Amino acid sequence: MIRIQFKEVDIENLRYERFHNPSARVQQKMEALYLKGKGLPHNEICRICEISKTTLIAYLKEYKQGGINKLKEGTKYKGRTKKVKGTTLGFSQQEHRQPPSEMEVQLV
């Protein structure tokens, strides 16, 4: 078990960030560390946050390395990228497109 001594100010910052940070991933990290600061055991934190013990340990190590600021840094996982065809126009782009000329209509 990783032991961390939390300062009261850090617990307050964790409490705030777990609801107010714009990143859902960072909110999850803050929640896990907040619960750790409140003395909950690892298995209970994992159950509440719906994370694995490996993930919790990674969060704890991040905190030990750089505190709350380290937890706020981006994650390595970027997710799947969606490939979009170059000819696809978004809805807003279609609104501003000029209507086809008579020449284009006859060719179609």
Nearest to 69 by CA among 42, 30, 36: 30
d(CA 63, CA 11): 12
Give the length of the chain.
108
Predicted TM-score (pTM) of the model is 0.65
pLDDT tens across the length of the chain (108 residues): 677 888 899 999 999 998 998 888 999 999 999 999 999 999 999 999 999 999 999 999 999 988 888 888 865 555 565 565 655 555 555 555 666 666 655 655
